[in-house]
């Protein structure tokens, strides 16, 4: 028997996502299994259109508004895109301050992802809204564990507030940091600010290494089958992040988590940005039938709705012709911090974020020590009037790139590819599904009116559809 399950909207994410699951029922076991999945971004935003005709220096301020969860990455990507087109190296303090603002944002996002967006797929919260109605399927934590986890859910709200405050010490304010601009940062480095940041870092680091880490391990212990569920294409991509040396090229500088590509068959490659492509075959946009490089003159964001065969406002990024997974799991594998025994799954995506949080708090302490009190944080950036370029780094959810063309100081083209666009993309012109769609295939659904097993897979990617449709 065949049936389709529609989850629309998927909640506990950022933005607007619809998931359609075509199901097969096994004649012998009677189990309902996902045959194919379709992920639809159901909102159009057009931030790239807003950039057209704008002054180059507007880009970080405007693109930070793509999202309230990863605004630091957007302001940063826009800044390095412009800086690298002028072969500009920001002052050392600017590099370190940017690392510190971004790292605080990563911690904020990882805590949010586990406690507030994912955990309620595995446990029931208190018997009142907004925690009810709740899923009743396959809830395995006992009462004591649930109560303890919920205490941590509550504490995590406070920890997130602190990570925002930490980022705001150098970012000016958050979510949308004011201080990351082309040329450096506007935050003065003082002893008082370093001490303030350090004090908060100590508290967050304790929460991360003791509570967050052990809660994720409790999840892994209680739901070990989810180490085998939600794998996906296993082709991993990272652009690299957290610059460790002063350089005009962020994509070739030494970084805490390097960029690269790791395919399902174990082949590793250096990242070749010319191989990053986008298809709009199943997206409500005008465009060529084949995939287009975001820096090409053919790349555009022109809405076309309705459109035959299209089902999403998200485009379909591919590397060469492959569907890729981006995110902390990809970063940890590409950095060699996760060995070959770690395969992509619901649980390993959470474990990767814990590992990354631990690595980050160590690095944050080091960056604080490297800051020079009162040292330069900014130099005026002189841009060529007409130039093209791109900036690529990692957002919490994975690889993020901004591509632009500037003519007489104004953008004639601005293209953004976000990690959720990579992960939650619809099929491409060859019918190849996106990573999340592929990860959902094969998932067993116990109750078609309460498809929590599918939500566990979806939430493990931490999709942000606001970013994906930008």
User: What's the min distance (Å) between Cβ of 348 and ligand NFE?
Assistant: 18
Fill in the per-residue mask, 97 to 126: x = in contact with ligand NFE (CB under 6 A), - = not in contact: ------------------------------
Binding part of the chain for ligand NFE, among 236-244, 260-268, 443-451, 462-470 by CB under 6 A, reads 462-470
CA 320 to chain CA centroid, nearest Å: 21
CA distance 79 to 71: 12
Q: Of 32, 40, 73, 443, which lies in the binding site for ligand NFE, with binding defined by CB under 6 A?
A: 73
| Region of 469 on the Ramachandran plot (φ > 0 left; ψ -120 to 50 alpha; else beta) | alpha
User: What's the min distance (Å) between Cβ of 305 and ligand NFE?
Assistant: 22
Query: Cβ distance 165 to 105 under 8 Å?
Result: no
Binding part of the chain for ligand NFE, among 38-46, 49-57, 352-360, 391-399 by CB under 6 A, reads 391-399
Query: Cβ distance 309 to 287 under 8 Å?
Result: no
Nearer to ligand NFE (CB atom), residue 112 or residue 445: 112
On the question of a cis peptide bond just before residue 225, with omega within 30 degrees of 0, the verdict is no
- List, in order, residues 6 or more apart from 173 with CB less than 8 Å away: none
Structure letter (DSSP) for residue 295: T
Kindly state whether residue 318 participates in binding ligand NFE, applying the rule CB under 6 A. Answer: no
Q: Of 95, 152, 349, 397, which lies in the binding site for ligand NFE, with binding defined by CB under 6 A?
A: 397
Of 214, 312, 366, 257, the closest CA to residue 17 belongs to: 312
What's the token pair of residue 440? 């959902």
Binding part of the chain for ligand NFE, among 22-30, 89-97, 121-129, 393-401 by CB under 6 A, reads 393-401
Kindly state whether residue 399 participates in binding ligand NFE, applying the rule CB under 6 A. Answer: no
Nearer to ligand NFE (CB atom), residue 368 or residue 439: 439
Q: Of 16, 38, 45, 74, which lies in the binding site for ligand NFE, with binding defined by CB under 6 A?
A: 74
Query: Cβ distance 454 to 5 under 8 Å?
Result: yes
Query: Cβ distance 332 to 355 under 8 Å?
Result: yes
Kindly state whether residue 418 participates in binding ligand NFE, applying the rule CB under 6 A. Answer: yes
Of 18, 2, 1, the closest CA to residue 454 belongs to: 18
Kindly state whether residue 419 participates in binding ligand NFE, applying the rule CB under 6 A. Answer: yes
User: What's the min distance (Å) between Cβ of 57 and ligand NFE?
Assistant: 20
Nearer to ligand NFE (CB atom), residue 77 or residue 201: 77
How many angstroms separate the first and last alpha carbons of the chain? 38
Strand ranges for 418-455 from DSSP E: 444-445
User: What's the min distance (Å) between Cβ of 35 and ligand NFE?
Assistant: 27
Q: At what angle do helices 143-171 and 191-206 cross, to 10 degrees?
A: 170
Nearer to ligand NFE (CB atom), residue 71 or residue 230: 71
Q: How many other CB atoms sit within 10 Å of the CB of residue 302? A: 11
Kindly state whether residue 466 participates in binding ligand NFE, applying the rule CB under 6 A. Answer: yes
Q: Of 47, 67, 323, 406, which lies in the binding site for ligand NFE, with binding defined by CB under 6 A?
A: 67
Binding footprint of ligand NFE on the chain (CB under 6 A): 14, 67, 69-70, 73-74, 395-397, 400, 418-420, 464, 466-468
């Amino acid at each position: 028997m065949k049936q389709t399950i529609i989850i629309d909207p998927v909640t506990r994410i950022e933005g607007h996502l619809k998931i359609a699951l075509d199901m097969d029922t096994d004649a012998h076991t009677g189990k309902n299994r996902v045959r194919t999945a379709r992920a639809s971004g159901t909102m159009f935003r057009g931030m790239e259109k807003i950039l057209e005709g704008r002054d180059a220096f507007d880009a970080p301020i405007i693109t930070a508004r793509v999202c309230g969860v990863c605004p630091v990455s957007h302001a940063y990507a826009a800044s390095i895109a412009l800086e690298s087109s002028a072969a500009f190296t920001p002052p050392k303090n600017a590099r370190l301050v940017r690392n510190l603002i971004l790292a605080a944002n990563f911690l904020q996002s990882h805590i949010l992802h586990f406690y507030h967006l994912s955990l309620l797929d595995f446990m029931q919260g208190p018997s009142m809204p907004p925690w009810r109605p709740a899923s009743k399927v396959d809830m395995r934590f006992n009462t004591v564990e649930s109560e303890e986890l919920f205490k941590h859910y509550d504490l995590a709200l406070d920890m997130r507030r602190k990570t925002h405050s930490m980022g705001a010490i150098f970012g000016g304010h958050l979510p949308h940091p004011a201080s990351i601009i082309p040329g450096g940062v506007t935050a003065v480095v003082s002893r008082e600010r370093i001490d303030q940041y350090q004090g908060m870092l100590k508290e967050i680091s304790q929460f991360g290494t003791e509570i967050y880490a052990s809660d994720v391990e409790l999840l892994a212990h209680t739901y070990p089958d989810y180490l085998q569920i939600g794998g996906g294409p296993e082709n991993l991509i990272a652009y690299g992040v957290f610059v460790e040396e002063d350089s005009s090229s962020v994509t070739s500088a030494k970084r805490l988590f390097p960029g690269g590509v790791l395919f399902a068959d174990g082949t590793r490659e250096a990242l070749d940005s010319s191989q990053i492509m986008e298809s709009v075959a199943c997206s409500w946009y005008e465009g060529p039938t084949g995939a287009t490089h975001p820096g090409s003159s053919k790349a555009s964001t022109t809405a076309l709705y309705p459109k035959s065969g299209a089902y999403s406002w998200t485009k379909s990024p591919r590397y060469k012709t492959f569907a890729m997974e981006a995110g902390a799991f990809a970063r940890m594998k590409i950095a060699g911090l996760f060995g070959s025994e770690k395969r992509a799954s619901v649980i390993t995506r959470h474990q990767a974020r814990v590992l990354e949080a631990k690595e980050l708090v160590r690095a944050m302490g080091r960056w604080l020590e490297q800051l020079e009190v009162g040292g330069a944080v900014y130099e005026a950036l002189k841009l060529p009037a007409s130039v093209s370029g791109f900036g690529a780094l990692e957002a919490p959810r994975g690889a993020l790139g901004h591509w632009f063309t500037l003519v007489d100081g104004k953008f004639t083209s601005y293209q953004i590819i976000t990690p959720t666009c990579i992960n939650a993309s619809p099929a491409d012109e060859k019918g190849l599904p996106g990573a999340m769609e592929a990860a959902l295939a094969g998932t067993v659904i116990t109750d078609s009116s309460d498809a929590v097993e599918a939500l566990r897979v979806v939430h493990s990617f931490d999709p942000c559809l606001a970013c994906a449709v930008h």
